[in-house]
Structure 1
């Protein structure tokens, strides 16, 4: 019986350890699909201000019932401190990050914007150190791996951003989009400054979201409820912003087309499910682990962009992708090494039950802290000796 259960237990343990990795990798496929779908919707005249509102309206409708029924017995009390953090979360991600990202994507391209977002792990890593959510000890190889891996990831992103190189026709029909991309290239040069500023602001907003999310989960450890509340708050806040910046009321009308698909897909997958999965992994592994996988979406987006949007793939994109994957592996390896070390230290420091039962009364008396008890060691021994 023991021989039969041992493999199943090992397999179960493997899947438990692999869940955070599988969740984050699958999420990058979801983000890549959103980039492509939203780009198609924008080309057909959809306002990104309106998209953000509809996106979080859909996410609220989908996630609220699950949060209400699944966590009705474990949901903590909503304090003023938690409410203010939810307001901040609703502004940082739905309002600031998404709108600025869409502006940057429209002024550049889906591939360029997703490539620039690869600096997200580095910015989050720095912010996590500032807010003491991440520890760095350069004497340990795990910390060095995280630092070096983050630097490599940023380097790969810069290669993709600053160096294009010759076109690589990895798909037989990518040459068909040469005319489109030549005009797109000139547009990139024209809107370069605007795209860079908006994308940098987007990165800081997104990193701040993960930092505040990690802090909020310590006070409000109900991932589904937090997700629903953030989506609801994001809908209201982005609605106010949209009414200010989008004066054309006809922009709010959408039919069953790519615009409806963009709102539904991004709402369910990239707001509802993504916020929840990120909350669970953030709570277990921290914000740096969550953002470490974001470079993968760039690789997926570049391939989908070439297929769906006829965007050309350049040599710089391929080189940057390889460099980013190397940096990503280094960061994940360092995080895994730290987790293993912390588990080992915990097991070593955990007292054995036989050791506890085998304690001698006189030994216990010697270990009593004089300052915390206010009595001397001699008095402590005398008291313990009189115990039956």
Structure 2
């Protein structure tokens, strides 16, 4: 009984941990930390954390570096840390952590769409699994579009000092707030597209450079260097780089420990017995946790459009996950996966340097 419950307990616990990455990031930004500096520190710490393991465990299997692979690593470092994290954090500042976590559920659907366009994923509309993946993708986009265009009435799950409405100029403030909401949503969607593109290119690069730890550490390093250049150009204030024993340290440190350490271990442990689709199917739970804790701890507002859109996106995600699960022939165990299947694009679980 304990063994049967273990994958569920670990996966639910993982979603609580991943929800913390959104909350710690938002708290760091709310406390005045530059999002560009946050990205630099986060990826630099991740590179330092992964490098020793890559040197020890992959010293005999690490292939030679080629110019093609090096350029792909540069592009990966730009897509994920610079574009994805940069625009997602910017959109999060305009909206909320719960909103960003909801939109990011669309990543598997966007990845599937890009894979179809690039012929990395085959679609046969005569098969139910292909129909489910296509319909799930369309439903996901409908949910994201609804969240962009419709905000709706405001709800506050918990009373918080930050939820006090602004005084004066209510109408103009609402118009400005709606404008920021749409802008923030577009930024998050751009980050979502960059993250999906990252998965596509990563699936190609890892075949040429089959050393996952080394590849991840190099991507983090390149991302940190490129992010540092962007941060130095965009923010000329030296004080923005200061770190203290507060969210400027806790935020980047927690996200790295969670996404590059604990998440790796738990995902690997669960996927040994249940496969990647099982882990992915719990992703919407992270959105629910972020929504509740964001309202309680950060005083974030909740809107009807976000609730409806988040539910629609979750339904679309499950359709894509179900269709992708059928690619395993109905068996979630890795042993049931054929050689051909392991070479095709898999659903993204989480980025080694992101959510």
Instruction: With the length of structure 2 as denominator, give the TM-score of the two structures.
Output: 0.79
Distance 1:178 1:94 in 2: 34
Q: Verify the 8 A CA contact 1:108 1:187 in the aligned structure 2.
A: no
SS of structure 2 residue aligned to 1:179: coil
- Structure 1 residues 197, 317: closer, same or farther in 2, change over 3 A? closer
SS of structure 1 residue aligned to 2:300: coil
Task: Name the count of aligned residue pairs.
Answer: 331
1:301 maps to 2:290: yes
1:189 maps to 2:175: no
Q: Verify the 8 A CA contact 2:76 2:198 in the aligned structure 1.
A: yes
Cα distance, 1:162 vs structure 2: 3.2
Cα distance, 1:35 vs structure 2: 1.8
Q: Which moved more, 1:190-199 or 1:175-184?
A: 175-184
- Identify the structure with the greater helix proportion: 1
- Structure 1 residues 148, 193: closer, same or farther in 2, change over 3 A? closer
Distance 1:218 1:289 in 2: 24
Distance 1:202 1:331 in 2: 20
**Which residue is 1:136 aligned to?**
123
Cα distance, 1:221 vs structure 2: 1.4
1:297-376 aligned within 5 A: 297-340=286-329
Cα distance, 1:307 vs structure 2: 1.2
1:72 maps to 2:59: yes
- Structure 1 residues 57, 192: closer, same or farther in 2, change over 3 A? same
1:258-306 deviations in whole A, cap 9, x for unaligned? 1111111123323566689999999xxx999998865544333212211
Instruction: With the length of structure 1 as denominator, give the TM-score of the two structures.
Output: 0.73
- Structure 1 residues 84, 289: closer, same or farther in 2, change over 3 A? farther
**Which residue is 1:386 aligned to?**
none
- Structure 1 residues 279, 101: closer, same or farther in 2, change over 3 A? farther
Distance 1:203 1:291 in 2: 16
SS of structure 1 residue aligned to 2:302: coil
* RMSD of aligned Cα (Å): 3.8
**Which residue is 1:362 aligned to?**
none
Match for 1:247 among 236, 239, 255? Answer: 236
Cα distance, 1:344 vs structure 2: 8.1
Match for 1:56 among 27, 43, 52? Answer: 43
1:227-271 deviations in whole A, cap 9, x for unaligned? 111111111111111111111111011101011111111233235
Match for 2:251 among 252, 262, 280? Answer: 262
**Which residue is 2:114 aligned to?**
127
Cα distance, 1:192 vs structure 2: 4.2
1:179 maps to 2:165: yes
Which structure carries more relative contact order (alpha carbon 8 Å, separation 6+)? 2
Cα distance, 1:188 vs structure 2: 2.8
Distance 1:290 1:135 in 2: 23
Structure 2: segments with no counterpart, 5+ residues: 340-355
Distance 2:27 2:266 in 1: 26
Match for 1:235 among 224, 227, 238? Answer: 224
Match for 1:203 among 166, 189, 192? Answer: 192
Q: Verify the 8 A CA contact 2:277 2:321 in the aligned structure 1.
A: no
Q: Verify the 8 A CA contact 2:106 2:317 in the aligned structure 1.
A: no
**Which residue is 2:103 aligned to?**
116
Task: From the CA coordinates, give the structure whose radius of gyration is larger.
Answer: 1
Q: Verify the 8 A CA contact 2:277 2:325 in the aligned structure 1.
A: no
Match for 1:82 among 69, 72, 79? Answer: 69
Structure 1: segments with no counterpart, 5+ residues: 1-6, 348-388
Distance 1:38 1:187 in 2: 24
Match for 1:214 among 203, 215, 226? Answer: 203
Distance 1:74 1:208 in 2: 27
Distance 1:214 1:229 in 2: 15
1:78-102 deviations in whole A, cap 9, x for unaligned? 2222111111111100111111111
SS of structure 2 residue aligned to 1:51: helix
- Structure 1 residues 26, 345: closer, same or farther in 2, change over 3 A? closer
